[in-house]
Amino acid sequence: MFQQFSNPLPLSLYVHIPWCVRKCPYCDFNSHESKAEIPEAQYIDALLRDLEQDLPRVWGRRISSIFFGGGTPSLFSPEAIDRLLSGVRSYLPFMGDIEITMEANPGTAEARKFKGFRDAGINRLSIGVQSFQPQQLERLGRIHGELEARRAAEWAIEAGFDNFNLDLMHGLPGQTVADALRDLETAIALKPTHLSWYQLTIEPNTRFAFDPPALPDDEVLSDIQDAGHALLQASGYPRYEVSAYAPPARRALHNLNYWQFGDYLGIGAGAHGKITDLQHQRAYRLHKKKHPKDYLAAGSDFIAGETTITADDMPFEFMMNALRLVDGLPAEFYGARTGLRLDALSKVLQRGRDDGLLQADSERLAPTDTGLRYLNSVLQRFMADELARHGDRKIIPIVSG
C-alpha cells in the first residue's frame, strides 16, 4: 500500500434506525414507512450483534460521538435507546465529553419522549423542522405543523437539552427571500444552539424526481443564501460548514469528525463506516445490509460490502470532506489522516489559490468564499483522472521516522 498511517484517528459511531411514519417526497435516505408495528426489541438485538461483529476493527479505541439517524429514530422508545446505549458502553469506552445526538421528529408523540431520551443518555437533539410555513410543510410531506415545530424546541429545553439543532431547508417550491428569512427568524427565536440550513435538491429515485416541483431560479437561490448567511451571522450563528451554523463551542462534534476525515463505525440497516487499519496500513469503507428485513435476518453477518480507499482516491475523499469547512483544516491533517504527502498535490493546490478558489495560507487547506460557493468544481480537481492529467498523479507515502 502507498499509505503510512502512524496514529489512531478519532472514532465515532453512527446508528441507523430506518423506519419513519411517512416517507417525504424529497428523501433519498434508507428509510421505510412503518406500516406495521416496528420490531424494536429485535432491531436493538441486531444492532448490538452488528457492533460486536465490528469490535475487532477498533480494539482499544474510544468513541468521541454517537449519532442516531434515520428514518425517525425518535419513533423508538426511550427504554430501547437506553438498552442500546448500555450495550454500546459495555463494548466500547466513551470519551468523557462524548456527544450523543438523536434525530427527532417534531410530531407530538415523539416530542413527548424527549425527557426519556435525555435520561437514557442522549445529550443533543437534531429536530427536523424543515419549514415553519404550513403550505411548505404540506408540499414537503411533513407530518407536523408549525405549532408542533415550535413546541418541539420548547419541549427539548424543558426536557433538559441545553444543546439542540434545528434542521431547515431553503430553496423550497415558490419560496421568496422573504419566505426563507421568516423561517430563519422563527427558528432563531427558539434559541437552538445549532442550525442546519441547507438547500432542497431533487435526488434520483424520490417522488420529487418523478414529479418535480417548481423551485426558485438560480438568481433567487443566490439572494436567499446571501441574505440568510447575513442574518445568521448577525444573530450569533456563524457559518462553519456548507450548511451548518453555530458558535464555535456548539459545533456538531459528530459531523466535524466526518469533515475532518476521522473514523466511524456504522451499525444498522444500510449504515456505512470508514476505518483506518494501522496494522494492515489501509483505510476502507464498509456498508451493512440495506433492507430492514435482510438486516434483521442476517444473524451475525451484517456486512454487505467492503472497499479499500486507494491512494489514487484518497485526495478526493479527504478534500470532499475538509473543504466543506469554512476554515478548512490545518495542512498537517492531510498527512496524518491519509498517510500521504501533501507536496504531491502542490500543483493542483497552487492552481486553486491562483484561481481564487483556495485560501493562500499554505498552513491550511481551506476554500475561499468563491471556492465554497462552487465547491463541486473545486473538488473535481482532486479526482484521480484530473490529477493525472495535470501531473499530480504520483502519490508519495509518508515515511515514518
pLDDT at 192 over 80: yes
Helices (H) and strands (E) in the chain, counts: 17, 16
Work out the burial of residue 180: count CB atoms within 10 Å of its CB; fewer than 13 is exposed, 13-18 middle, 19 or more buried: buried
- Between 134 and 325, residue with greater pLDDT: 325
Query: What DSSP string describes 165-203?
Result: EEEEEES-TT--HHHHHHHHHHHHHT--SEEEEEE----
Q: Return all residues near 98 (Cβ < 8 A) that are at least 6 apart.
A: 63, 64, 65, 66
- Between 1 and 63, residue with greater pLDDT: 63
Rounded to the nearest 10 degrees, the angle between the axes of helix 218-234 and helix 177-189 is 30
- Between 21 and 375, residue with greater pLDDT: 375
Region of poorest pLDDT, from 192-201, 208-217, 288-297: 208-217
For residue 108, the model assigns a pLDDT of: 62
The string of pLDDT tens digits covering residues 76-109 is 999 999 999 999 999 999 999 999 999 998 876 6
The residue among 258, 256, 255, 276 whose CA lies nearest residue 339 is 276
pLDDT at 137 over 80: yes
Q: What is the average pLDDT across 330-357?
A: 95
Alpha carbon distance 311, 66 (integer Å): 28
Q: What is the average pLDDT across 20-36?
A: 76
pLDDT at 41 over 90: yes
Work out the burial of residue 120: count CB atoms within 10 Å of its CB; fewer than 13 is exposed, 13-18 middle, 19 or more buried: buried
Q: What is the average pLDDT across 132-152?
A: 86
The residue among 203, 206, 213 whose CA lies nearest residue 172 is 213
125 and 165 Cβ atoms separated by less than 8 Å: yes
User: Which band of pLDDT confidence, cut at 50, 70 and 90, is reported for residue 1?
Assistant: very low
CA distances from 83 to 40, 45, 119 (A): 11, 9, 12
Q: Which domains does the chain have, with CATH numbers?
A: 11-256 (3.20.20.70), 314-389 (1.10.10)
Three-class DSSP category at 141: coil
For residue 394, the model assigns a pLDDT of: 53
Q: Does residue 356 have a cis peptide bond before it, meaning omega lies within 30 degrees of 0?
A: no
User: Which band of pLDDT confidence, cut at 50, 70 and 90, is reported for residue 401?
Assistant: very low
For residue 25, the model assigns a pLDDT of: 73
Q: What is the average pLDDT across 64-81?
A: 95
pLDDT at 36 over 80: no
Region of poorest pLDDT, from 43-52, 135-144, 254-263: 135-144
For residue 393, the model assigns a pLDDT of: 57
Mean pLDDT score across all residues of the chain: 91
CA distances from 388 to 142, 312, 384 (A): 46, 9, 6
CA 170 to chain centre: 18
Cα-based angle 68, 71, 76 (whole degrees, multiple of 5):
65
134 and 164 Cβ atoms separated by less than 8 Å: no
Q: Is the pTM of this model over 0.85?
A: yes
pLDDT at 317 over 80: yes
Percent of the chain with pLDDT strictly greater than 90: 77
Region of poorest pLDDT, from 71-75, 98-102, 264-268, 388-392: 388-392
- Between 303 and 393, residue with greater pLDDT: 303
For residue 391, the model assigns a pLDDT of: 65
Q: What is the average pLDDT across 130-157?
A: 88
User: Which band of pLDDT confidence, cut at 50, 70 and 90, is reported for residue 398?
Assistant: very low
- Between 198 and 5, residue with greater pLDDT: 198
